[in-house]
Amino acid sequence: MSKPDLLLVSPIHGPTQAQLDADYTVHRYWEAADKPALLAKLAPTCVAAATSGGAGIKAQVIRALPGLKIVACFGVGYDGVDLAACKERGIRVTNTPDVLNECVADTTWMLILATVRRAVFNDKYVRSGKWLGGSAPLTDKVWGETLGIVGLGRIGKAIARRAEGFGMQVVYHGRHRQPDVAYEYFADLKAMARAVKILVLILPGGKATENLVDAEVLAALGPQGYLINVSRGSNVDEAAVLKALQDKTIAGAGLDVFVDEPRVPEAFFALDNVVLQPHVGSGTVATRNAMGQLVVDNLAAFFAGRALLTEVPETRG
Ligand code: NAP
Ligand code: 8YV
């Protein structure tokens, strides 16, 4: 029996691609020299696509595949998917929630500690022999400070739980106050930025949250404050973050995500008050395998006519 076609829009986790290759005839969109010709060839038969949540799938690709019925995203965020185009056509979208919560929270804490306690600066201090000339400068502290979380969802709550071990006061901002949460809620992001030492972003990307952290929020965070972004680069005004670091109008930043990944503005490289990571929030072997398994299982459920495991709320019936 011939295997069903699957359009793989962007590269994803290697072992997951190998699993998909075993079960489907996979067409790698990003590698196709003639993309319109590939889509025209697949139009009569292709009902399924897989992609990373950030790269997603554009309306123009969706329109070219009239039989498309499912888009399986590798990633909990699916800001790259044109949801309006999917909803219009009744195309179902899945993502990979929950299985990555704890590793993304660990990464966030790695960035908080590395940024505030200057782990990268101090590593260079030892390697360059500067220690022989005297002790490294003292740093700010993490323990006992106030942590503001923008997006107290599945991952935000895992970050908050870890803060309890650091004796910190946790506060949060989102569109809604959560009645079952004891942490203080700020409806106003600027007011929260003024109140915290460390501001963590772990909310979805996309148009609704674009440039949420702008120059005004950074000014409110102030010269004693640290910004940690593990959400999406688009959630911050990247030029404003760079300027705030250069002018030291914020104390520092830990950044896992960028506007035009993997291209990072080189001006960041010259600064020792920022710690940079290559979008590795979920990047452990175990977590990426679990995310990949969800992609595989959602597609298998779809083709077997079973309920999808993790469909995004916007396309659920
Ligand atoms: P989630 O459970 O859906 O939580 C999202 C939170 O964001 C909710 O508390 C929501 O609260 C808040 N939110 C949504 N829209 C908002 C807005 N316009 N303004 C302020 N707050 C808003 O999602 P999750 O599973 O924790 O994942 C969160 C995000 O983390 C993902 O979408 C992805 O972008 C990012 N992520 C990054 C990595 C990485 O590798 N760096 C890994 C995984 C996830 P309200 O509804 O009350 O606003
Ligand atoms: C990426 C992420 O999926 O889950 C998300 O939303 O940002 C990450 O886990 C991962 O980098 C692969 O694209």
Instruction: Please report the pLDDT score of residue 28 as a whole number.
Output: 98
User: Whose C-alpha lies nearest to ligand 2, atom 2?
Assistant: 75
**Closest Cα to atom 40 of ligand 1:** 281
Question: What is the value of pTM for the model shown?
Answer: 0.98
pLDDT of residue 244: 99
Low-confidence ranges of the chain (pLDDT < 70): 317
What pLDDT was estimated at residue 1? 73
**What is the side-by-side strand order in the sheet with 146-150?**
184-186, 169-173, 146-150, 198-201, 226-229, 252-255, 274-276
pLDDT at residue number 288? 98
Residue 139 has a pLDDT of 98
pLDDT of residue 279: 98
The yes-or-no answer on residue 27 being catalytic is no
**Closest ligand 1 atom, residue 77 Cα:** 32
How far is ligand 1, taken at its centre, from the CA of residue 254, in Å?
Answer: 18
All domains of the chain in start order, with CATH: 5-98+286-315 (3.40.50.720), 101-276 (3.40.50.720)
Q: What is the pLDDT of residue 312?
A: 98
Q: Give which of 32, 37, 91 is closest to 59, Cα–Cα.
A: 91
CB of 52 sitting under 6 A from ligand 2: yes
Which residue's CA is minimally distant from atom 6 of ligand 2? 77
Q: Please tell me if the CB atom of residue 154 comes closer than 6 angstroms to any atom of ligand 2.
A: no
Identify whether 28 is a catalytic site residue. Answer: no
Residues 147, 169: Cα–Cα separation, whole Å: 6
Nearest to 62 by CA among 76, 46, 41: 46
